[in-house]
């Protein structure tokens, strides 16, 4: 018998399972579609912080998660014997016209809120070399807190680490012990069906993978796009945000536009081979924050709503949900509780 059952093998479900397993709990993960079958099996993997101003619990939670990520993912890799694709490589983004004063003000706020453990700096574009995105001011923001993750490698490594600790990752099975529901878009829709208004919804994203070998380069955020160099000699570009769509898995002209915008914003990408076009639907709670705590309609717990920030939040989400499920210790911010989306 398992001590804990996790329904859903995406970023949140696997991270909670690993956090429980590393504390000695017997874990069973159940997902009929397999690990990383939903949006957690995508290709982008941007672990990017919120801007360091107007500080709140959500930003503080994300900061804690990003700061603990290197050691957390390193342990996953060591236990599983598999790479995760994690790298705290930083991020570059253009300073827009009229934006220099604000960008420089954030240098000071980052020094305060990021606890001196990461920096936000305004630099000249020529310091970044050929990898610099186009910038109308000749200036870039360079932060050292942003990191990248290879979603598919990370899911596989989490599965390996859970199994190495004696846990199970299955497509079907019995639910023993406390149950956590980390079932993504389907889970949000099920709650919505029992409430007078939508608890959350799915947002489709389209992204592309290019063949270009820059494993140590920083990620870029330019022209509202994430450009993420991965360890395997690829660069991911994404993504669209589509509230309305017909086919959740298809790509279309919107992705063509993404690729054109990326090439215009980052000239070094021009002519790079597109080796994969990807589309999937990501879970977005009505509160726009992760949903953590007691499940509002099921007997058990919930970890859902990691829209665009799932892997960045995953280490901290895993640990606070393990605190709650195993020890009864509640460290969940008020804005993350299910009540915020009801």
Please report which helix (H) or strand (E) contains residue 122, including its range. Answer: strand 120-124
* 205 burial via Cβ count (<10 Å: 0-12, 13-18, 19+): buried
> What CATH number belongs to 4-87+147-199+286-341?
3.50.50.60
Q: Which residue has the tokens 């009929």?
A: 32
Note the pTM of the prediction, 2 decimals.
Answer: 0.97
DSSP line for 232-292: TSEEEEE---BSS-S-TT---HHHHHHHHHHHHH-GGGTTPEEEEEEEEEEEEETTSS-EE
Q: What is the average per-residue pLDDT within 178-193? A: 97
Read off the pLDDT of residues 203-223 as tens digits, 9 standing for 90 and up. Answer: 999 999 999 999 999 999 999
Quote the CA–CA distance of 332 and 335 in Å, as a whole number: 8
Beta-bridge partners for 304: 291
CATH architecture designation of domain 200-284: 2-Layer Sandwich (3.30)
The reported pLDDT for the residue numbered 316 is 98
Residue 118 pLDDT grade (very low, low, confident, very high; cuts 50, 70, 90): very high
The reported pLDDT for the residue numbered 286 is 96
List the 27-30 sheet strands across, edge first.
168-170, 27-30, 4-7, 179-181, 301-304, 291-294
The reported pLDDT for the residue numbered 262 is 98
Cis previous bond, 239, omega within 30: yes
Read off the pLDDT of residues 221-230 as tens digits, 9 standing for 90 and up. Answer: 999 999 999 9
The reported pLDDT for the residue numbered 330 is 97
The reported pLDDT for the residue numbered 202 is 97
Share of the chain above pLDDT 70, in %: 100
The reported pLDDT for the residue numbered 251 is 98
The reported pLDDT for the residue numbered 3 is 98
The reported pLDDT for the residue numbered 55 is 96
The reported pLDDT for the residue numbered 201 is 96
Strands 179-181 and 200-211: unpaired
Please, what is the average pLDDT of the chain?
A: 97
Residue 65 pLDDT grade (very low, low, confident, very high; cuts 50, 70, 90): very high
The reported pLDDT for the residue numbered 26 is 98
The reported pLDDT for the residue numbered 136 is 98
Given a contact cutoff of 8 angstroms between Cβ atoms, the answer to whether 310 and 11 are in contact is: yes
Rounding to the nearest 10 degrees, give the CA dihedral for residues 33, 35, 38, 40. Answer: 180
Q: Residue 165 to residues 27, 151, 182, 327: CA-CA distances in angstroms?
A: 9, 21, 21, 19
Q: What is the average per-residue pLDDT within 256-267? A: 97
The reported pLDDT for the residue numbered 51 is 95
Share of the chain above pLDDT 90, in %: 99
Q: What is the average per-residue pLDDT within 87-116? A: 97
Q: Is there a shared CATH topology between the 4-87+147-199+286-341 domain and the 200-284 domain? A: no
Given a contact cutoff of 8 angstroms between Cβ atoms, the answer to whether 7 and 179 are in contact is: yes
User: Residue ranges per domain, the chain?
Assistant: 4-87+147-199+286-341, 200-284
């Amino acid at each position: 018998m398992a001590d804990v059952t996790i329904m859903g093998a995406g970023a949140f479900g696997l991270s909670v399972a690993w956090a429980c397993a590393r504390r000695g709990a017997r874990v069973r993960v159940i997902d009929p579609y397999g690990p990383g079958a939903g949006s957690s099996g995508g290709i982008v993997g941007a672990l990017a912080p919120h801007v360091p101003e107007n500080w709140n619990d959500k930003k503080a939670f994300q900061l804690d998660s990003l700061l603990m990520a290197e050691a957390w993912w390193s342990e996953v890799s060591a236990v599983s014997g598999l790479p995760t694709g994690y790298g705290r490589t930083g991020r570059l983004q253009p300073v827009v016209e009229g934006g220099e004063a604000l960008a420089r003000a954030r240098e000071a706020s980052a020094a305060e809120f990021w606890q001196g453990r990461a920096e936000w700096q305004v630099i000249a574009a020529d310091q970044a070399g050929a990898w610099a995105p186009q910038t109308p001011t000749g200036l870039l923001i360079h932060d050292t807190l942003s990191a990248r993750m290879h979603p598919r490698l990370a899911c596989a490594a989490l599965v390996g680490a859970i199994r190495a600790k004696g846990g199970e990752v299955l497509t079907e099975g019995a639910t023993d012990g406390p149950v956590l529901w980390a079932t993504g878009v389907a889970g949000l829709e099920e709650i919505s069906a029992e409430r007078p208004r939508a608890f959350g919804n799915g947002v489709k994203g389209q992204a592309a993978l290019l063949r270009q070998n820059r494993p140590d380069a920083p990620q870029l955020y330019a022209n509202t796009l994430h450009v993420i160099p991965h360890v395997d000699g690829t660069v991911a570009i994404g993504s669209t945000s589509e509230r309305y769509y017909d086919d959740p898995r298809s790509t279309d002209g919107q992705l063509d536009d993404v690729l054109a915008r990326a090439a215009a914003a980052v000239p070094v990408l021009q002519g790079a081979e597109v080796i994969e076009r990807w589309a999937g639907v990501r879970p977005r709670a009505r509160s726009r924050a992760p949903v953590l705590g007691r499940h509002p309609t099921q007997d058990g717990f919930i970890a859902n709503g990691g829209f665009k920030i799932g892997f960045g939040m995953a280490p901290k989400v895993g640990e606070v949900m393990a605190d709650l499920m195993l020890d009864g210790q509640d460290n969940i911010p008020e804005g993350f509780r299910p009540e915020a989306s009801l």
